[in-house]
Amino acid sequence: MEIIKNIKFIKSCMDWRDAPKPGLPEVAFVGRSNVGKSSLINTLINMKNLARTSKQPGKTRSLNFFSMDERFFLVDLPGYGFAKISQSEQKKWQQAIEGYLLNSEQLKMLFVLIDSKVGAKSNDVQLVEWLRFNNVPFQVICTKVDRVSNNEKSKQEKLIKAALGFEESAKFLFFSSKDRTGRGALWGEISGIISRA
């Protein structure tokens, strides 16, 4: 499935009820602001500007739906933990994310992005606890892995797993938008998810 020929931006919305029809299987991406989510999406699908990237966090401010060969939707969710917006705006983003995750009947997997170097922060821990409580299917991707050495990677992986309440044997994906580490592995995961949908 790695070769996606027809990629289209379909819709941007703040309410899950406005999600595009017909209902195709969905894989979604979420993470703390500045975790490298837009860069990961652009690297994954081999396009520079499909998802907007910026050195200024908080650029993704709605639920963005992209059609992948009309077989499934890739959903880019707003980042969380961005301090430079009003509390009312933060609440709006939170409601949009929670509403989508709780109500989308087509969501097959949520990929939660954690910065390999920074590690899991309190809002990451809260999100993972909330996902478990609400039985939302999710998998962790550690981003920016090019910024840590192999020794650091192993140490950070253990710390992140402990912080998020995972067993040491839990499977995490590692990704770098800079050198494309993990791109094939992530496509393998997505391919398996969609084939089972």
Of 60, 85, 89, 88, nearest in space to 75 by CA = 60
pTM: 0.91
CA distance 154 to 159: 9
CB contact set of 48 (below 8 Å; sequence gap of 6+):
42
Of 56, 21, 23, nearest in space to 38 by CA = 56
**pLDDT, one tens digit for every residue, the chain (197 residues):** 567 889 999 999 989 899 898 779 999 999 998 899 989 999 998 877 665 543 444 455 689 999 999 999 999 998 887 656 677 777 787 888 999 999 999 999 999 999 999 999 999 999 999 999 999 999 999 999 999 999 999 999 999 999 999 999 999 999 999 999 999 999 999 999 999 98
Could you give the C-alpha distances from 83 to 33, 78, 91, in angstroms and in order? 9, 13, 12
Instruction: State residue 4's pLDDT score.
Output: 83
Domains and their CATH numbers in the chain: 7-196 (3.40.50.300)
Instruction: State residue 194's pLDDT score.
Output: 95
CA distance 187 to 40: 12
H-type alpha helices, 16-121: 37-44, 87-103
Instruction: State residue 58's pLDDT score.
Output: 45
Whether the Cβ atoms of residue 121 and residue 79 lie closer than 8 Å to each other: no
Instruction: State residue 80's pLDDT score.
Output: 81
Could you give the C-alpha distances from 172 to 43, 116, 159, in angstroms and in order? 19, 11, 12
CA distance 62 to 30: 11
Expressed in angstroms, the distance from the first to the final Cα of the chain is 14
